[in-house]
Amino acid sequence: MQTTLRGVGVSHGVAIGEVRHMGTAVLEPPAKQIPAEEAEREQGRARQAVEAVAADLIARGNLAGGEAQHVLEAQAMMAQDPELMADVDRRIAVGSTAERGVYDAFASYRALLAGAGEYLAGRVADLDDVRNRIVARLLGVPMPGVPDSDEPYVLIARDLAPADTALLDPTLVLGFVTEEGGPTSHSAILARALGVPAVVALPGAGELAEGTVIAVDGSTGEIFVEPSAEKRAQLESSAAARKAALSASTGPGATSDGHKVPLLANVGGPGDVPAALEAGAEGVGLFRTEFLFLDDSKQAPSEEKQIIAYRAVLEAFPEGRVVVRVLDAGADKPLDFLTPADEPNPALGVRGLRSLLDHPDVLRTQLTALSKAAEGLPVYLEVMAPMVADRADAKAFADACRAAGLQAKFGAMVEIPSAALRARSVLQEVEFLSLGTNDLAQYTFAADRQVGAVSRLQDPWQPALLDLVAMSADAAKAEGKSCGVCGEAASDPLLACVLTGLGVTSLSMGAASIPYVRSTLAKYTLAQCERAASAARAADSAEEARVAAQAVLSGE
For 145, other C-beta atoms within 10 Å of its C-beta total 17
Q: What is the DSSP string of 482-539?
A: EEEE-SGGGGSHHHHHHHHHHT--EEEE-GGGHHHHHHHHTTS-HHHHHHHHHHHHT-
Q: Which of 393, 493, 491, 377 is nearest to 433 (CA)?
A: 393
Name the amino acid, one letter, at 49: A
| Complete DSSP assignment for 233-256 | HHHHHHHHHHHHHHHH--SS-B-T
SS3 sequence of 51-90: HHHHHHHHHHHHHHCHHHHHHHHHHHHHHCCHHHHHHHHH
User: Which parts of 270-359 fold into alpha helices (H)?
Assistant: 273-278, 290-293, 303-314, 353-358
Marked catalytic residue, from 12, 186, 401, 497: 186
Return the DSSP state at 102. Answer: H
Q: Which value, in Å, is the radius of gyration of the alpha carbons in the chain? A: 24
At position 301, the amino acid (one-letter code) is: P
3-class SS shares of the chain: helix, strand, coil, % to 5: 50, 15, 35
> Tell me, what DSSP letter sits at residue 158?
S
Phi, psi (deg, nearest 5) at residue 414: -100, 95
> Is residue 486 among the annotated active site residues?
yes
The amino acid at residue 551 is: A
Distance, CA of 356 to CA of 388 (rounded, Å): 12
Q: What whole-number distance in Å separates Cα of residue 179 and Cα of residue 191?
A: 15
Residue of 70, 88, 99, 290 whose CA lies nearest to 163: 70
How far apart CA 190 and CA 11 sit, in angstroms, is: 9
List the catalytic residue out of 401, 483, 486, 529: 486
Strand partners, 16: 215
**497 part of the active site:** no
CB neighbour list of residue 436: distance below 8 Å, 6 or more residues apart: 386, 413, 414, 415, 486, 487
- The answer to whether 224 and 215 are in contact (CB under 8 A) is yes
Residues shown for the chain: 556
DSSP one-letter code for 143: P
Q: For residues 31 and 99, what is the distance between their CA atoms, to the nearest angstrom? A: 9
Which residues are known catalytic residues? Answer: 186, 486
